[in-house]
C-alpha cells in the first residue's frame, strides 16, 4: 500500500503537469498564430488598395481560415467589416511597438483584438472545439494511464512485498514449529540478502540451542547413571545396618564388620558429595561467566598446591612457578589446577613425587606441566580421559566421578588454552597445559590509574592468603 500510494501520488502529479503543459502549449500556439495573422492584417490596412477591396479581402481570409472569424476596421473608420464578434475593450491590452493586443476566451472561441497607433483594428475569433477535444482526449488518456500505473504499482508492490516477506514467513513458521513440536529444525536458506543472513543467524542459534540441549540431556543421563551405583550400594548397607539394629532381629554381625559397613557408608556419602560437587562445577562452567579480571597464575598455583599438600602429606611436590598474568576467572583456573594436582597425587604412590613446572613458552604463552609417578595413561585413553564420566578400566577401582579432567579441559579451553595428556619420564601421567597471557612485569609500569595496583611478587604469603580467602568465599557461594 505504501508503494502504491507513492506511485499514485507521483502519477497524479505527472498527469497534472502533463495536462497543464499540453493545454498551455496548445493555447500558446493558437494565440501566437492569431497574433501573427492580426499583425499581417493590420499592416495591410495601411494599403489603400486593401481598404478598397476590404470585403473581398475578408472573404478571402475566411476561405483560407475556415475556423477563424474576422472583423477589420481600417484607420479612421467607425465601422467594421466582417463577422460580428463580441470582445472587451482594449484598455487592459498589452502594448508593444505601438500596437495594443488583448486576448481572451469567450464561450468556445479564443478572441484576439489588436489595434495600431493609427486607429486600425483587427478582431479574430478562432473556434477552440477541436483543441478542447484534443485536451479532453489527452486528459482521458492520462487518467487511464494513471489508473493503470496505480494498479501496476499495487500489483508490483504486492509481488515485491510477498517475495521480500517470504523468508520472514518461513522464519515465523519455523518459530511456530519449534514452539509447537519442540524440534529444532533448521530453515532452508535462499539468496544472499539481509533476510538470508537473518536466516543463517537463526539457524546458528537453533544449532547452539540443540548442542546445549544435547549436553544437558547427556549430563542428566550420565549423572543419573553415576549416581545410581553409589546410591544403590549405600542403600544396601544402610538397610543392613537398620536390620541389625532392630531389637527383635535375631541377626547380629561382629563389631569389626559393623565398623567396616559404617566406614563404607561414610565413603559412599563422601563419593556422592564429591560427585554432586563436580556436577555443580560442570554446570557452572557451562554457564556464561565473567572473563574480565587479570589473575596471577602464581597465586592460583600456590593456593592449589597448598590445598593438595594438606590432602596428601605423604607425597612430595616439586614445584617451579613463575609470575604470569591470565585474563579470566581465577576461581575456575584454581579449580582446574587443583583437579590436576589432586589427580597426580591420587595416582602417585606414597613417598612419590609430583613435579610441577611452569615455564614461559613465548611472549604471550605459558606452559604448565604436572607429572606423577603413577602407572600412567595408556595411549588409547589419553584423549578420552577428558570426556565426561569416562573412566578407564584401571581407574574404576579408585574413587572419583570421571568429571575432574572434563572440568579441567572446559576451563582451560574457555581461557583460550589447551591441554593434552602424555607420558612422564618416570612412566607416569604427564599433563601439558598452555595458557595465553603475559608476564607479571608488563603490568607493573602500565597499570590503569583507576585500578588497584597488583601486590609485588615477593609478598607471596600475603598474595596466597588473599587468593585463598577469595577461593573459600566463592566455593561457599
Check if 184-287 and 289-444+456-476 are the same fold.
no
**In this predicted structure, what is the pLDDT of residue 451?**
43
**In this predicted structure, what is the pLDDT of residue 442?**
47
**In this predicted structure, what is the pLDDT of residue 462?**
55
pLDDT band at 456 (very low <50, low <70, confident <90, very high): very low
User: For the chain, what percent of residues have pLDDT higher than 70?
Assistant: 82
Q: For the segment 87-132, what is each residue's pLDDT rounded down to a tens digit?
A: 765 555 566 667 888 888 887 888 898 888 888 989 999 888 777 7
Asked whether residue 411 carries a pLDDT value surpassing 90, the answer given is no
pTM, entire model: 0.47
**In this predicted structure, what is the pLDDT of residue 239?**
82
Asked whether residue 2 carries a pLDDT value surpassing 80, the answer given is no
- What separation, in Å, do the N-terminal and C-terminal C-alpha atoms of the chain show? 59
Strand locations in 74-193, DSSP E?
81-82, 94-96, 99-106, 109-115, 121-127
CA distance 357 to 371: 9
CB atoms within 10 A of CB 84: 9
**In this predicted structure, what is the pLDDT of residue 454?**
44
**In this predicted structure, what is the pLDDT of residue 282?**
65
CA distance 37 to 58: 12
Q: Which residues sit opposite 362 in a β-bridge?
A: 365
Q: Considering the chain, what is the average pLDDT of its residues?
A: 79
Buried b (16+ CB within 10 A) or exposed e, 307-343: bbbeebeebebeeebebbbbebbbbbbbbbbbbbbbb
**Rounded to the nearest 5°, which phi and psi values hold at 96?**
-155, 125
Buried b (16+ CB within 10 A) or exposed e, 62-73: eeeeeebbbbbb
- Given this structure, which CATH class describes domain 184-287? mainly alpha
Asked whether residue 446 carries a pLDDT value surpassing 60, the answer given is no
pLDDT band at 419 (very low <50, low <70, confident <90, very high): very high
- Given this structure, which CATH class describes domain 289-444+456-476? alpha beta
**In this predicted structure, what is the pLDDT of residue 302?**
92
Strand locations in 174-300, DSSP E?
293-296
273 burial via Cβ count (<10 Å: 0-12, 13-18, 19+): exposed
**In this predicted structure, what is the pLDDT of residue 281?**
66
**In this predicted structure, what is the pLDDT of residue 443?**
44
**In this predicted structure, what is the pLDDT of residue 370?**
95
Cell of 277: 560437587
Q: Where are the domains of the chain?
A: 2-134, 184-287, 289-444+456-476
Top-confidence residue, 464 or 180: 180
**In this predicted structure, what is the pLDDT of residue 455?**
45
**In this predicted structure, what is the pLDDT of residue 94?**
62
Nearest CA among 111, 103, 107 for reference residue 82: 111
**In this predicted structure, what is the pLDDT of residue 332?**
82
pLDDT band at 278 (very low <50, low <70, confident <90, very high): low
Q: For the segment 339-378, what is each residue's pLDDT rounded down to a tens digit?
A: 899 889 988 888 899 999 999 999 899 999 999 998 888 8
Buried b (16+ CB within 10 A) or exposed e, 24-58: eebbeebeebbbebbbebbebbeeeebbeebeebb
Q: Hunting for cell 595411549 — which residue is that?
A: 379
Q: Which residues sit opposite 219 in a β-bridge?
A: none
Q: 111-115, 234-238, 277-281 — which is least confidently predicted?
A: 277-281
Give the strand order in the sheet containing 121-127.
81-82, 68-73, 121-127, 109-115, 99-106, 94-96
- Highest averaged pLDDT of the listed ranges 82-86, 128-132, 230-234, 472-476: 82-86
Q: For the segment 69-91, what is each residue's pLDDT rounded down to a tens digit?
A: 999 989 888 888 888 887 765 55
- The answer to whether 293 touches 329, Cβ cutoff 8 Å, is yes
Nearest CA among 7, 63, 65, 10 for reference residue 34: 65
Amino acid at each position: 500500500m505504501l508503494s502504491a500510494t507513492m506511485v499514485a501520488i507521483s502519477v497524479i502529479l505527472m498527469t497534472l503537469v502533463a495536462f497543464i503543459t499540453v493545454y498551455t502549449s496548445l493555447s500558446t500556439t493558437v494565440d501566437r498564430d492569431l497574433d501573427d495573422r492580426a499583425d499581417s492584417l493590420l499592416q495591410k490596412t495601411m494599403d489603400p488598395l486593401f481598404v478598397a477591396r476590404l470585403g473581398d479581402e475578408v472573404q478571402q481570409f475566411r476561405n483560407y481560415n475556415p475556423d477563424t472569424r474576422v472583423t477589420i476596421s481600417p484607420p479612421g473608420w467607425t465601422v467594421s467589416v466582417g463577422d460580428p464578434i463580441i470582445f472587451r475593450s482594449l484598455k487592459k491590452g498589452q502594448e508593444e511597438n505601438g500596437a495594443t493586443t488583448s486576448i481572451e476566451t469567450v464561450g468556445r472561441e479564443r478572441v484576439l483584438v489588436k489595434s495600431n497607433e493609427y486607429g486600425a483594428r483587427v478582431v479574430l475569433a478562432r473556434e477552440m472545439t477541436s483543441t478542447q477535444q484534443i485536451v479532453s482526449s489527452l486528459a482521458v488518456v492520462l487518467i487511464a494511464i494513471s489508473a493503470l500505473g496505480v494498479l501496476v504499482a499495487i500489483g508490483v508492490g504486492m509481488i515485491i512485498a510477498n517475495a521480500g516477506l517470504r523468508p520472514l514467513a518461513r522464519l515465523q513458521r519455523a518459530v511456530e514449529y519449534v514452539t509447537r513440536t519442540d524440534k529444532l529444525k533448521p530453515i532452508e536458506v535462499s539468496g544472499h540478502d539481509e533476510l538470508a543472513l537473518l536466516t543463517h543467524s537463526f539457524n546458528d542459534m537453533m544449532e547452539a540451542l540443540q548442542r546445549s540441549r544435547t549436553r544437558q540431556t547427556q549430563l542428566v543421563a550420565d549423572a543419573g547413571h553415576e549416581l545410581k551405583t553409589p546410591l544403590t550400594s549405600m542403600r544396601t548397607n544402610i538397610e543392613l545396618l537398620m536390620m541389625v539394629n532392630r531389637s527383635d532381629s535375631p541377626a547380629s554381625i561382629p563389631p569389626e564388620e559393623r565398623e567396616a559397613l559404617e566406614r563404607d557408608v561414610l565413603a559412599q556419602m563422601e563419593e556422592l558429595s564429591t560427585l554432586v560437587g563436580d556436577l555443580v562445577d560442570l554446570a557452572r562452567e557451562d554457564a556464561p561467566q565473567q572473563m574480565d579480571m587479570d589473575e596471577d597464575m602464581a597465586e592460583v598455583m600456590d593456593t592449589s598446591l597448598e590445598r593438595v599438600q594438606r590432602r596428601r602429606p605423604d607425597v612430595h611436590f616439586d614445584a617451579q612457578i613463575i609470575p604470569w598474568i591470565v585474563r579470566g576467572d581465577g576461581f575456575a583456573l584454581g579449580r582446574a589446577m587443583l583437579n590436576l594436582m589432586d589427580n597426580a597425587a591420587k595416582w602417585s604412590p606414597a613417598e612419590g613425587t609430583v613435579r610441577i613446572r611452569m615455564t614461559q613458552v613465548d611472549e604471550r604463552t605459558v606452559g604448565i606441566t604436572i607429572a606423577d609417578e603413577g602407572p600412567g595413561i595408556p595411549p588409547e585413553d589419553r584423549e578420552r580421559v577428558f570426556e565426561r564420566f569416562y573412566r578407564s578400566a584401571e581407574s574404576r577401582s579408585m574413587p572419583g566421578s570421571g568429571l575432574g579432567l572434563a572440568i579441567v579441559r572446559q576451563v582451560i579451553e574457555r581461557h583460550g588454552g589447551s591441554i593434552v595428556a602424555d607420558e612422564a619420564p618416570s612412566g607416569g601421567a604427564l599433563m601439558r597445559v598452555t595458557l595465553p597471557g603475559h608476564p607479571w612485569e608488563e603490568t607493573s609500569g602500565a597499570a590503569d590509574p583507576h585500578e588497584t595496583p597488583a601486590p609485588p611478587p615477593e609478598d607471596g604469603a600475603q598474595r596466597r592468603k588473599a587468593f585463598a580467602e577469595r577461593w573459600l568465599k566463592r566455593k561457599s557461594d
